[in-house]
């Protein structure tokens, strides 16, 4: 009996094959699935930052384990010295700011009346011109004029006294050497005997407010005379430099200590 080459499969064989196809595949491990889901949810930049932070922490652990204790102590001492230096510098800067603020406050109180003083000195100028315009003979011959002039002189004395109490003083510059910080030269007077640059005439009186020039004096100076030798001019230059450094009672900041902050006020 011969067997047919193309036999029809039996129902039992089809059932077995279908059961083999329906076998469930092994589930993926939960850890891998969670990592894939987390990678999808977290942006790439944040993931890189997280990895960098983890690597850095791991590196610190390794360095902490590998560094020798002596080297570790030396590193910490260097960091402490640097922090101490920064602290002293910050304290020194704070002290400088405090002194500067105190000086500004004192200047504000000293020179707050500057604009008012400038207006009042013009009143003193006009009063002085009025007194100078009165003829001495007419004053002696007329009692009424004499009484008027006496009253003006009393007003002038009171005005100048008020100026002095407020720190305003008139400059006495006749015969002094010309100083561009205090004087304003209007013309030159030929004089071969007097030292060149000497004030020979005063056109308008100058005033100072607490030793600071309020209004420069308008003067006439000499020319053609002998000049001061350089040796005689040096002390005045040194005095001006010293005055500039100690202006308003404040000394210039100097490096007086080997370490920054060594001269800090103990109140800090």
Q: With helix as H, strand as E and coil as C, how does the chain read?
A: CCCCCCCCCCHHHHHHHHHHHCCCCCCCCHHHHHHHHHHHHCCHHHHHHHHHHHHHHHHHHHHHHHCCHHHHHHHHHHHHHHHHHHHHHHHHHHHHHHHHHHHHHHHHHHCCCHHHHHHHHHHHHHHHHHHHCCCHHHHHHCHHHHHHHHHHHHHHHHHHHHHHHCCEEECCCCCCECCCCCEEEEEEEECCCCCCCEEEEEEECCEEECCEEEECEEEEEEECCCCCCHHHHHHHHHHHHHHHHCHHHCCCCCCCCCCCCCCCCCCC
Q: What's the mean per-residue pLDDT of the chain?
A: 74
Write out pLDDT tens, residues 86-145. Answer: 999 999 999 999 999 999 998 888 888 999 999 999 999 999 999 988 888 888 899 999
Residue that has been written with the tokens 């039996």 in this structure:
10
Q: Return d(Cα 156, Cα 166) in angstroms, integer.
A: 15
Q: In degrees rounded to 5, what are phi and psi of residue 176?
A: -90, 165
Percentage of the chain exceeding pLDDT 90: 39
The band of 66, judged by pLDDT with boundaries at 50, 70 and 90, is low
Tokens of 249: 């009672």
Quick one: average pLDDT of 71-82?
Answer: 92
Quick one: average pLDDT of 65-87?
Answer: 88
- Predicted confidence (pLDDT) at residue 19 exceeds the cutoff of 60: no
Contacts of 191 (CB under 8 A, 6+ apart): 198, 200, 222, 223, 224, 225
Write out pLDDT tens, residues 200-259. Answer: 999 999 999 998 999 999 999 998 877 766 554 444 444 444 444 444 444 444 444 444
pLDDT of residue 98: 95
- The answer to whether 235 touches 203, Cβ cutoff 8 Å, is no
The full set of domain ranges for the chain reads 38-66, 113-167, 171-229
- Report the CATH architecture of 171-229: Roll (2.30)
pTM of the entire predicted model: 0.53
| Pairing mode, strands 217-223 and 207-209 | unpaired
């Amino acid at each position: 009996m011969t067997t047919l080459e193309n036999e029809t499969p039996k129902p039992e064989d089809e059932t077995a094959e279908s059961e083999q196809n329906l076998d469930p595949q092994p589930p993926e491990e939960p850890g891998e699935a969670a990592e894939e889901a987390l990678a999808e949810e977290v942006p790439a930049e944040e993931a890189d930052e997280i990895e960098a932070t983890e690597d850095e922490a791991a590196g610190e652990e390794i360095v902490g384990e590998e560094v020798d204790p002596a080297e570790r102590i030396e590193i910490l001492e260097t960091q402490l010295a640097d922090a101490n230096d920064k602290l002293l510098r910050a304290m020194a800067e704070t002290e400088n700011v405090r002194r500067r603020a105190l000086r500004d406050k004192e200047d504000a109180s000293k020179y707050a009346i500057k604009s008012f003083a400038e207006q009042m000195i013009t009143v003193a100028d006009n009063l002085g011109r009025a007194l100078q315009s009165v003829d001495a003979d007419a004053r002696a011959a007329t009692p009424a004029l004499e009484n008027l002039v006496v009253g003006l002189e009393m007003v002038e004395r009171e005005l100048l006294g008020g100026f002095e109490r407020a720190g305003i003083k008139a400059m006495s510059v006749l015969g002094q050497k010309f100083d561009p910080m205090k004087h304003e030269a209007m013309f030159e007077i030929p004089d071969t005997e007097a030292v060149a640059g000497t004030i020979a005439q005063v056109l308008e009186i100058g005033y100072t407010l607490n030793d600071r020039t309020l209004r420069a004096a308008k003067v006439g100076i000499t020319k053609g005379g002998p000049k001061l030798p350089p040796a005689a001019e040096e002390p005045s230059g040194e005095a001006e430099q010293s005055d500039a450094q100690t202006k308003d009672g404040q000394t210039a900041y100097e490096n007086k200590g080997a370490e920054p902050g060594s001269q800090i006020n103990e109140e800090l």
